[in-house]
Structure 1
Amino acid sequence: MAASAAAKAKLPLNLNEDSTGAPLGKDPKNPARDNKVSRMGTASIPLLITEFAIPAILGMIVNGAYNVVDSIFLGQAMGEIGLSAATVANPIMIVFMAISMLIGNGGNALAALRLGEGRRVDAEVSLGNTMFLSIVVSVLVALAAANPVILDSLLTLSSATDDVRPYAHVFLQIVCFGFIFQCIGMGVNNFIRTAGAPNRALVTMLIGLVVATIFNYLFVIQLGWGVAGSALATIIGQASSCVAVLWYFIFTKNVPLKLHLRYMAPHLKVLGTIVSLGFASFAVQAGMAIVNFVINHLLVQYGALSPVGADDALASIGVVQRVAMFTVLPLVGVAVAIQPLLGFNYGAKLIDRVRKTLWYGIAGATVLGTVMWGIVHLFPEAIVGAFGITHEGLVDFTVFALKVQLFMLPIVGFQIVGSNYFQATGQPLKSIILSLTRQIIFLVPLLFALPEVLPHVMSQFTGLDALYFATPLADFLSIFTTAIFIAVEMRRLKKLERGEIKAKF
């Protein structure tokens, strides 16, 4: 009864009880329910990170594989025009991912902090309000997609050529109408990790990818439905993941967090906190979308001046962008995996565990980045050929662009995990700043400047070549900036550990 009464009260709540009224960690009927969460503050950190990271990394790869699968099937069935359509749609698809991460990562970060503080009801309110926000935003996206003026404006912003526009328009409109499945299936999925079930989180995502791949083959290859078939396959896969996620929180017994209709009632303070905590994740993806808009515009501009041509430049760099995103996803997976561990231990004031979790996470991301870098350099032609690019000159151009753009990949994990650390520990402003350094603050100016400067300094490179040199340079600058932030944070944690200061969040 106490929890029910509190749930009706104004937020913020401050209860050390679960949704049934039992004290956190002291439910005699279901002790395993609480152990799934409480072990984040007691178990071996390397073992916890391994347990959480493997399914999180695979989950991020699965999530990123949606775009790769679409591109592979469209490239094989339609050639360069299919790849170009996917490239034009890509920035808008990234915006959708950004919205999903804004809501899901923000709500999940809040839930992890509250569980660390022993406030289970508040964590469930965070889950409910995340669902509410997902539904509202999905309706707005669907309404926007129904307006041809808005959709055409987005395609113009993404530099769609006359030949590519009709294909991209069909693909995007279908995906927009099914956005609710992505928003819930991807965003709310993060809560399953915080509930102590990382393997279950992976399974819910894997279900969607398998379904999407099967229907892509059926619709695109067998039935010849082209971009419409690929888009339909994508949302069917996302819908399958969405159902699996909701099933876990509604029907699965003895889970640490449950989805209750009464906790979906909007609370402005909770919604505001979700948005503030999730904005760093949003900034990363939104920054990537802005970069894609800029790159598409510059590709058309400089590609038209190159023997490669505008449409082939879009197809080629579109492949590079997808491979680059795919190689970074395991690093993001490490950051996502340690987020609930950081949040729980920070909320519980276990500072030494917070510090160790961060450094183990950085080490793991660095190893993975090095492995992904090695794979790209060992099999670049095979990777490019899988997307349907077969013209010899275009293959050479794409392979070189791929190697240059991923030059800093072995140490990019430090920047990704470092910026995510501040989000997980309730310091969203720092996380936002660091997220923007890599995607906006450094990269966008370099994209405009290098094509004008590099050909004059090194005449063997064209303006088109200069576009992919911008990424490794921006990566270096953002890594250096993150190192400064982390050094300052380590000193702050020492003061927090000695009791000289208090955590403000």
Structure 2
Amino acid sequence: MGTDSIPRLITEFAIPSIIGMLVNGAYNVIDSMFLGQAMGSIGLSATTVAQPIMIVFLSLCMLIGNGGNALAALRLGEGKHADAERSLGNTMFLAIVLWVVIAIGVSVPSVMDAILDISSATDEVRGYAADFIRILGFGVLFQIVGMGLNNFIRTAGAPNRALLTMVLGALVCIVFNYLFVMRLGWGVHGSALATVVGQAASCASVLWFFVVSKSSPLKLRLRAIRPDKAIIPSILTLGVPSSLVQVGMAVVSFVVNMLLVVYGAQSAIGETAALASIGVVQRIAMFTVLPLVGVAVAIQPLLGFNYGARLFGRVRATLGYGILGATSIALLMWVSVHVWPVQIVSAFGISDESLREFTIFALKVQLLMLPVVGFQIIGANYFQATGQPVRSIILSMSRQILFLIPLLFLLPPWLPVALPQFTGLDAIYFAAPMADALSIVLTGILICVELRKLKRKETELRPIS
């Protein structure tokens, strides 16, 4: 990682990482597609209500998985192999702890009622969403290990194996969704069970690599699983930035669901259709961001290793190529949404023509800034990978928390007054591109300052002739 061609390394790491992120994100999309086709708006609304807590589960995966992996990459760059293995073991320990806490939480009726309340579950979909969340909560250990520890496989120099692990889980999920939902008619229960089975397949593959396989340079050893009071805080600190991105998405989902119920009830389409329609928009938008996160995750070990080895020229080059790659992918995704909007929306079972037109328009508006969002994501992840969590946290919070949530509350009452052709419901998806633009500007400022600092460090290390 410190000598090979940077574009070649990024390509080698990024392709499996991008596909892996898409595969991981496909779980939510797959569930929505099958339930939308089988149950219509009710199925889509139930998964929309469940989506915020699903994102919370994902944020916990990234908290310990990305944090542990970032620490392992830094330690490997410093030549501390034993510390890297302790990072892997303590990540596994944290995964078990989180599973126990979540499984207990979703088993308590008052906790489940609170989750459904803040997710704005209507009476019509409340029972379906509760069943979906409960099943996923019981099986969340498979998700945390299958995704969180999967990051270490890339750092161990086996990106293709990491990809295989993710693809295996998604394929199993598709097969069992078809069997449980479409053939056996188990509805929401079947879709949730299919997701857990798919995640279990990924989990088994990850554990095989680190426990049984002889090709892994990092091993998951019992003595390394013992909690280390020095390592655990470092894992959590380094994992907070990427986790906050998901937490921000979860908070936004909670807020959006609440506003959809309020302003959907005031619109012609109604609250259930609003939850179904904008829920689809939210899933597609999240799916388009995942390959950009995949690029950020792929370059993380390269950034961490070279920063730890004080190869600052390679750090700058990796950052530049990462931004270029993410921007190219984002542009491709944006074009796809504009070329095939009908096909994309119809795949989720939205067949009513007026609702489909509303969903397509909302999708295009929400993804207006997508071509340049990759720069913001790479920039936030750069500071995480190089051990600068405070700046990374600021940037990770900016897009979702600092800008989007205030706009979600401010725009619905203001937009219909300024532009009467739009409603309060329309304002919900107009807020996204405005928040994107503000966060991109903030990221640009911090990245420019960092590039100057890297250039100065590189000059200081250059031998005087």
Q: TM-score, normalised by structure 1?
A: 0.91
2:86 maps to 125
Question: Structure 2 counterpart of 1:127, which letter?
Answer: L
Matched, 1:371 2:332: yes
1:254-291 CA distance string (max 9 Å, x none): 32211111011101110000000000011000000000
1:403 maps to 364
Structure 2 Cα separation of the partners of residues 361 and 233 of structure 1: 34
Q: How far does residue 115 in structure 1 lie from its aligned partner after superposition?
A: 0.4
Structure 1 Cα separation of the partners of residues 163 and 313 of structure 2: 29
1:29 maps to none
Question: Structure 2 counterpart of 1:130, which letter?
Answer: T
Question: Which runs of structure 2 are paired with 1:18-37 in the superposition (5 Å)?
Answer: none
Q: How far does residue 121 in structure 1 lie from its aligned partner after superposition?
A: 0.5
2:432 maps to 471
Which residue, out of 234, 238, 245, partners 2:199?
Answer: 238
Percent identical residues: 66
Structure 1 Cα separation of the partners of residues 314 and 219 of structure 2: 27
Question: Structure 2 counterpart of 1:257, which letter?
Answer: L
1:443 maps to 404
Q: How far does residue 497 in structure 1 lie from its aligned partner after superposition?
A: 2.0
Which residue, out of 141, 155, 159, partners 1:198?
Answer: 159
Matched, 1:175 2:104: no
Structure 2 Cα separation of the partners of residues 443 and 169 of structure 1: 27
Structure 2 Cα separation of the partners of residues 135 and 103 of structure 1: 11
Structure 1 Cα separation of the partners of residues 113 and 460 of structure 2: 56
Structure 1 Cα separation of the partners of residues 393 and 460 of structure 2: 27
Structure 2 Cα separation of the partners of residues 41 and 97 of structure 1: 31
Structure 2 Cα separation of the partners of residues 428 and 398 of structure 1: 37
Question: Which runs of structure 2 are paired with 1:33-44 in the superposition (5 Å)?
Answer: 40-44=1-5
Q: How far does residue 152 in structure 1 lie from its aligned partner after superposition?
A: 1.1
1:265 maps to 226
When you count helix as a share of all residues, which structure comes out higher?
2
Q: Secondary structure at the match of 2:310?
A: coil
2:419 maps to 458
Question: Which runs of structure 2 are paired with 1:94-133 in the superposition (5 Å)?
Answer: 94-133=55-94
Higher alpha-carbon Rg:
1
1:430-463 CA distance string (max 9 Å, x none): 1010000001000000000011111111110000
1:487 maps to 448
Structure 2 Cα separation of the partners of residues 235 and 109 of structure 1: 27
Q: Matched residue pairs, number? A: 461
Structure 1 Cα separation of the partners of residues 246 and 205 of structure 2: 25
Matched, 1:326 2:307: no
1:91 maps to 52
1:354-386 CA distance string (max 9 Å, x none): 000000000000000000000000011110000
2:342 maps to 381
Structure 1 Cα separation of the partners of residues 296 and 132 of structure 2: 31
Runs of 4+ displaced beyond 6 Å: none
Q: How far does residue 308 in structure 1 lie from its aligned partner after superposition?
A: 1.0
Which residue, out of 43, 47, 52, partners 2:13?
Answer: 52
Matched, 1:297 2:255: no
Question: Which runs of structure 2 are paired with 1:342-381 in the superposition (5 Å)?
Answer: 342-381=303-342
1:497 maps to 458
1:182-235 CA distance string (max 9 Å, x none): 000000000000011111000001110000110000000100001000000000
Greater Cα offset, 260-269 or 489-498: 489-498
Structure 1 Cα separation of the partners of residues 370 and 435 of structure 2: 12
Structure 2 Cα separation of the partners of residues 301 and 255 of structure 1: 52
Greater Cα offset, 485-494 or 283-292: 485-494
Q: Secondary structure at the match of 1:304?
A: helix
Which residue, out of 126, 139, 142, partners 2:100?
Answer: 139
Structure 2 Cα separation of the partners of residues 499 and 162 of structure 1: 65
Structure 1 stretches lacking a partner, 5+ long: 1-39, 501-505
Structure 1 Cα separation of the partners of residues 455 and 33 of structure 2: 50
Structure 2 Cα separation of the partners of residues 445 and 200 of structure 1: 42
- Please report the RMSD computed on the Cα atoms of aligned residues, expressed in angstroms: 0.7
Structure 2 Cα separation of the partners of residues 141 and 377 of structure 1: 39
2:353 maps to 392
1:11 maps to none
Which residue, out of 246, 249, 255, partners 2:210?
Answer: 249
2:382 maps to 421
Q: Secondary structure at the match of 1:266?
A: coil
1:140-198 CA distance string (max 9 Å, x none): 00000110110111011000000000000111100000000000000000000001111
Q: Secondary structure at the match of 2:348?
A: coil
Q: How far does residue 251 in structure 1 lie from its aligned partner after superposition?
A: 1.0
